[in-house]
Amino acid sequence: MKYRKRLLIPALATVLLAGGPVLGQVPSPVPPGPEAAAATTQAPEADADADADDSASTATMTAADLETLLDGFLPYALKRGDIAGAVVTIVKDGDILFKKGYGVADRATGQAIDPDTTIFRPGSISKLFTWIAVMQQAEAGRLDLDADINTYLDFKIPATFAEPVTMRHILTHTAGFEEVVKDLIVLNDSQPMALGTLLSAHVPARIFKPGTVVAYSNYGTALAGYVVERLSGENFADYITRHIMQPAGMKYATMAQPLPADMAGLMSKGYESSRDPARPFEIINHAPAGSLSASGADMARFMIAVLNHGDGPNGRILRPETLAQMLSPQHRPLPGQQLAMGLGFYEQNRNGYRIMGHGGDTVLFHSDLSLWLDEGVGVFISLNSTGDERSPGPIRSELHRLIADRYFPAKAPTAPAPTETVKRNVPVGGTFYSSRRADHTLVSFINLFSQGDLVTNEDGTASFTLFRDFAGLPKRWREVAPDRWQEVGTDSLMHTRTDADGRIVTITTDDYPAIFIFERVPASINKGWSLPLLGATLFLALFTALWWPVAALVRRRYGRAHPLAGGDLLADRLVRVSSLMALVSLGGMIGVLTLAITPLMEGSIGWLLALLKLAGWLGILGLLPAGWRAWQVWRQPAGWGVRLRATLTVAMFLSVAWFLTTYNLAGFSLTY
């Protein structure tokens, strides 16, 4: 459920990145840049140890060794990344092995982080609690994972496809819903919206046939939580407390919003950066998707219950066979892909070890939970700041790598990748965008900026511009088998799907969780021609609007009368006004999606969106006087310069109409 306040379009460019982010609480799929690489640089001691372990024996995971490792990494990484504080808890063999806070919970007071009682917001890790609650209903016989979800609702999911949406589809993020933004997160102390009211008021379009394409969905998770609420007859937050948190022994955890009075004083402050004051408590309206608040130690207790086959100190949360089903692969986005979705949990495998977990991001908090299932180890980290906006993802990834490589190095040496690339009949190339996106609302405008290019390099390798390394450079991949690519210099894999014509039509990588894929962009919205067209359209609209006062000043300076009169003069002025409206509409929408993401999520700028949409309609209507004026110019004696300007003006208004209608920027709907 992740959004960036300042740079939405770049962040969403790979989230929708996806993250992400920007629109969901998942590890950010936005590859880190050079600043992030610096932020995740290890201290010399930790780096030396890690290198030694890679070439020698496995280190023993002890509390003392963990403290040495993490103390050499996190303090510097947090300072470099402008992060106020973090909490880390690690469990092993049924016990909390390590728990520690780094930095501060409150910059103003310098309050330290207590891993036992300081509360963080784990974001979409909340989904794991929702999925367990769903499986509890299945265990009780109240829920069939493969039944039409409408069976359990008091409103209907429209039958866009012949196949109904099932709970299994929702658990694997293959229900096919487009992205939802409005009312997602609210930064104030208000009460969350009633779940049933929220979900029924805006049912997102279904853009994929159920079970076919993975596309991470906060709406789907909230829908699952609502089903739990209806089947159990209990308030969702209360249900999670009684049936999961209490059996797991979690004392400082809740999904209630705002926080209960006895927990409110324990909440860590949340920050965007050191330049900004602490922000208010975040209200997650799609509560089952991200409303969890918990201390680091309580997240450790949750990990222990999962690793202990569902047994908590105060009772069982799931039967072992049910939990085993959740933790087993259920959906692989592409054939041959290593990482898969379980039922809610997703794979994070590294060095040949089976790892399941989930990540989570709110506006302010950024977290990860990873379970080494066969080793009985769980790792949780949460950061209380967005910082420089590039660091939260890399810091979490680097922590995971440090622990994995030190204590769970590769079981066998990785075979060197072939140096010969698979020969293709069709050149490797194309433009792609994420399956996690909106197609039918104004948020679809992001799709224009979220496209990546698959290109062939001079050395025969391929690069996808959205898959980048810590230096911010596109990774280079060599096709080692049909539709299977290995990153040059590492064992990281990229997977593709090729159509009957030999074109690559789908891309994904095991570097990211199996919660979205990249699909070939339709030619009708390909950025290769549409982005230059947008730039030219904005320039012509600006030129046409500005020429009005400039020409008036010139005529006044030299005492000349306007060359037009009557209907021609009226048409000319209407063209100028409509050009200004077109500029306001398109430019304003870009501004909103870049600078006003929090108000956009809160739904508090509906008035502004309505005005921008009205401006868009006035801009489109400029086509009428522009067309009339061009017809007049071409049917009467006129210079070619005049005719060219009139023709370009018509083309500009046609382009405005195309952008505003294609990306749903001029419709009457304010749902997104």
Which tens digits make up the pLDDT trace of 402-450? 999 999 998 776 666 666 778 888 889 999 999 999 999 999 999 999 9
Q: What is the pLDDT of residue 416?
A: 66
User: How many percent of the chain have pLDDT more than 90?
Assistant: 73
Q: What is the pLDDT of residue 11?
A: 38
Q: What is the pLDDT of residue 414?
A: 64
260 pLDDT exceeds 90?
A: yes
The DSSP code for 269 is P
Helices (H), 202-245: 218-232, 236-240
Rounded-to-integer distance, Cα 660 and Cα 537, Å: 12
Region 579-585 average pLDDT: 96
Q: What is the pLDDT of residue 4?
A: 37
Q: What is the pLDDT of residue 218?
A: 97
Low-confidence winner among 489-503, 615-629, 630-644 (lowest mean pLDDT): 630-644
Residue bearing the bigger pLDDT, 38 or 315: 315
One DSSP character per residue, 559-578 reads: TPPPS--HHHHHHHHHHHHH
Region 138-150 average pLDDT: 98
Low-confidence winner among 124-128, 311-315, 346-350, 451-455 (lowest mean pLDDT): 346-350
3 pLDDT exceeds 80?
A: no
pLDDT in tens, 178-237: 999 998 988 776 888 999 999 999 999 999 999 999 999 999 999 999 999 999 999 999
One DSSP character per residue, 603-640 reads: TTTHHHHHHHHHHHHHHHHTHHHHHHHHHHHHHS---H
Task: Return all residues near 395 (Cβ < 8 A) that are at least 6 apart.
Answer: 39, 40, 74, 77, 78, 81, 83, 86, 381, 383
Q: What is the pLDDT of residue 15?
A: 35
pLDDT in tens, 374-383: 999 999 999 9
Q: What is the pLDDT of residue 638?
A: 77
249 neighbors 159 (Cβ within 8 angstroms) = no
User: How many percent of the chain have pLDDT more than 70?
Assistant: 90
pLDDT in tens, 319-344: 999 999 999 999 999 988 989 999 99
- The pLDDT confidence band at residue 9, using thresholds 50, 70 and 90, is very low
Region 494-517 average pLDDT: 95
Q: What is the pLDDT of residue 566?
A: 84
Residue bearing the bigger pLDDT, 190 or 306: 306
Q: What is the pLDDT of residue 191?
A: 85
Q: What is the pLDDT of residue 632?
A: 86
The DSSP code for 444 is G
- Mean pLDDT value across the chain: 89
Region 621-650 average pLDDT: 89
8 pLDDT exceeds 60?
A: no
Residue bearing the bigger pLDDT, 326 or 629: 326
Q: How far is CA 457 from the centre of its chain?
A: 29
Q: What is the pLDDT of residue 415?
A: 64
- The pLDDT confidence band at residue 551, using thresholds 50, 70 and 90, is confident
564 pLDDT exceeds 60?
A: yes
Rounded-to-integer distance, Cα 417 and Cα 320, Å: 39
Q: What are phi and psi of 477, to 5 degrees?
A: -120, 140
Tell me the domains of the chain and their CATH numbers: 8-118+259-273+324-407 (no CATH), 430-521 (2.40.128), 527-662 (no CATH)
Region 77-99 average pLDDT: 97
Q: What is the pLDDT of residue 603?
A: 82
Q: Which residue, among 214, 669, 243, has the nearest Cα to 442 in the 3D structure?
A: 669
Rounded-to-integer distance, Cα 595 and Cα 612, Å: 15
171 pLDDT exceeds 90?
A: yes
- The pLDDT confidence band at residue 95, using thresholds 50, 70 and 90, is very high
Low-confidence winner among 290-299, 546-555, 624-633, 653-662 (lowest mean pLDDT): 546-555
291 pLDDT exceeds 60?
A: yes
